[in-house]
Structures are given as C-alpha cells and as structure tokens.
Amino acid sequence: MKKVSVLAAAVTLFLSGCSNNNLKKVEQSDHFADDAIGNPLAIVQHPAGIYRDGITYVSYQGPLEDPYVASYNHKTQEWKGPYKAGISDMGKDPSRKIDNHGKPTMLMDDLGYIHVFFGGHGGMPHHGKNPLGNIHYGRNIHVVSKNPYDISSWEELDTIPVFGTYNQAVKMDNGDIYLFYRHGAHRSDWVYQKSTDHGRTFEKPVSFLKHKRRDDLDAVDSWYAWVEKGENDEIIVGYDYHICWDGKAGINGRGHTTERHNAYYMTFNTKDGTWRNVQDEQLNLPITREVADQKTLAFNTGEKWTFNGSVHLDAKGHPHLATNVGKDLGYKTGGPKQTTHIRWDGSNWIVNDAVNVAAVASNQDTRGDFMVKSPDEVSFILEFKDGDDGVISYWNSNDAGKTFDKGDELIRRKGANWALTSIIQDGHPDARMIVAEKQKGEANRRVYLIGDNGPVKRLKSEVGN
C-alpha cells in the first residue's frame, strides 16, 4: 500500500507539473508586439493593415524607426512576426528626436507580393535639390517581400524619389498601383506615381496639389491630403490647407506652426486621367489654393484650425469626410481636437457636429476613422479619454450623422493615450484597426490588433520574441 501511495503521489505531481507548464504556454496577451516607438501609427500613412484570404497583415514603426510587419491567420489563430521589413535612414542618430514621419504604408499587389513604403520626411541635403519643394530629413524607401504572402524576407527597390513623406498607396481593380505622398517637407507639392507592373517600376511624379508663395502674407501655401479608392476607376481625395508661416514658431499663428484650415474634396478618374469636383466640373492640375477654395471647398472652418482625416463613400457614391476641428490645435492652450463629420447629400455639403458631443464630454480630444454602411448609417471608431482611462469605442449614427450614440468599447486601458491607423479596408470584423498604447514614462509602445470582439490575442511567450 505504501508503494502504491508513493507512485500515485508521483503521478499526481507529474501531471500537476504538466498542467502548470501548459497553463504557462497558453497564457495570452492582448497585444501582439511591445517594441513600437514614438508615434508608431497614424491614420494618414495608409494602408497600415491588409486583409487577404483569411490573413490580416499589420505594420508599425519599431525600434530605430524601422518598419515591422506581422500577420495573423484568423482560422488557425496563428501569429507570425513581427519581422523587420527594411532599414530607415532615420532613428539612428541619438542626437535627434524620433521623427515619426517615416511610418510604414503597406500594400499587396495582385501577385501576392507585399510592398512597404517608409522612412521619408523630405530627404536630406546630400540627396540634392528637391525639384518640387524643400527638404528636411530621412529618405523615402520602397521594399517588397521576396516571396508572395511571405513577410519573413524583403528586398529594397529603387523605384521612387527620396523626397516623399506621408505615403498612401491605392491598388485599382485592374492591378495598377498609385502611390501618393508629399514630395518633400512642408513647402512641397503633393504628387502621385503610377505603376502598371505590380509596383516594380513607377512613372514620374505628377503634382496634384501645388505649394506656392503667397503675395499677401509672409507664408507659403501647403496641404495635407488623404486618398482612397472610390467607385470603379476613381480615387477620392480629401484634404485641408496648411498655411506655412515664415520664421520659427511664435504666437498668434505666426512662425512655423501646425495651422491648417478647411476641408476639401475632389476625385481622380484613373481611366481617363481627369480630376473633378463633387459637382463633376473638370479641374486642371496642379490645384492651387485659389482653385481649391473656389471649386473643391466642402467646409470653411474660418478661424478654427483643422486636422484632416479620412474620406469614404456611401452606397449612393456620395462622399463623407472626417476632420478634427478646434481652436489653435498646435498649442496646449488651444481648444480640443474634436472629430467632425461632413457629407455630401447630392446637392449640398452637410456639416454634422454631433460626433463632437458623442465624446463623453465637451472640450475633449477625439481621433479616429469611420465606416459608412448606408447613407444614413455611419460608425466612427474613436479614441478618447474617460477620466484617466484611454478608450477606443464605436460611435454610431442612424440618421446620417445628425446624432451619434456610444457603441461597443473595443479597448480600455488606464492612463493610456492611443495612436490609431485607419480602418483596415474590407477587413475581418475581428481586425478593424491597429492601435498602439502610449503610456507616460514608457519608451516602448504596445501594439494591438483590435476588432468587434476587442483585441486579437497572442501567446505571451511569443510577444517580444
């Protein structure tokens, strides 16, 4: 009896050890990576995520400002990566602050190869003269995966100028790829380049928004744009106006600040090469401030400042725009950066401020992207503060944006501020958006893939490895 008891105890101890080991193996984390730095994600650099054949591919700015890519298989629940996709010229000089303009933009071509554009903030003096603007830092870089659907190995291509920043990539139904970006620092044109061979070569840049010196003020006209595939052969473009003052940052909007105004909209027909406003009037490129104000203005914000967001179409093909509007957004003493919804009803631009009120309380910053399910159904995914908690949740409207009600929360973390991407186009409901948690005093950022059921989980043992 004594031998049997000892044996039973040994078996129990062995099984207990196995159970504890298994528990450790299945411990899960809400974030899939913990090595992002700075402001590692943004709405403007997009797409940052891609969904294809049951797999979501995600990207972010990682150590030394290099681009990192990971993937999640929704059927097997398997994560791969993150893998470093390239090496940025930025982030290697310890005397410089993190630049944050070189965040990755990602696109998959029709052959399954994954392209990443990153690393640029206008180019540097040793790159030579920028023919379409000025320079600042970094080098715009294009890399592609060595094999289709494989994020583990990459090669750099010499296809685009070094001067770009704010990359945005669009693939059309026929496989053509369009890369949009600002061709340099603040005082530069916005351009696009076209590829008809799956991104292996690109045509020369074409300016579509013109920077130019003002005659009435000590400033230069500049822009911030956001592009997306529209209906059929069209690309839709939303943008705001940046008045780039001479000199260093000062008071009353003078000197270099983030001052921007208004919201604009136009379309690009890639089949016949024409650009048009919402009234279907043809526009000549590049668009100047005078033409923008006269032909493409959707919302005149007056003295209020803006921070432009995304643009999407409803089922009728009518555009909806999101922009943040507030007072002196570049200053700590300024007003809140509140999300405003703007839509075209077929005859007029309608400005809906109701989404501002949705953000729990007045005088609160909000930021995010939105989906248009029908002309009347609009759903924002916004980040905001609820006391000390950083929250990301849905805000839904069933009356074309006149009113918004708080919907499901996707994530909530104490003390957090959030960096968000745009919503992953045609993505899996479990993987709507990539977000990074910014905690005061922490150098690294945790990165999450969130969807309608909250964060997509990963084995803790895999995070950081």
Cite the active site residues. 101, 166
Do residues 90 and 138 touch, judged by C-beta distance below 8 A? yes
- Residues 341 and 400: their CA atoms lie apart, in Å, by 9
Do residues 97 and 48 touch, judged by C-beta distance below 8 A? no
Phi, psi angles (nearest 5°) of residue 338: -100, 135
- Residues 184 and 192: their CA atoms lie apart, in Å, by 13
Q: Give the E-state strand segments of 25-113 in sequence order.
A: 28-29, 33-37, 49-52, 55-61, 67-73, 78-84, 105-108
- Residues 426 and 47: their CA atoms lie apart, in Å, by 11
Which amino acid is it at 463? V
Which amino acid is it at 129? K
Which amino acid is it at 76? T
Which amino acid is it at 255? G
- Residues 236 and 321: their CA atoms lie apart, in Å, by 11
- Residues 192 and 187: their CA atoms lie apart, in Å, by 17
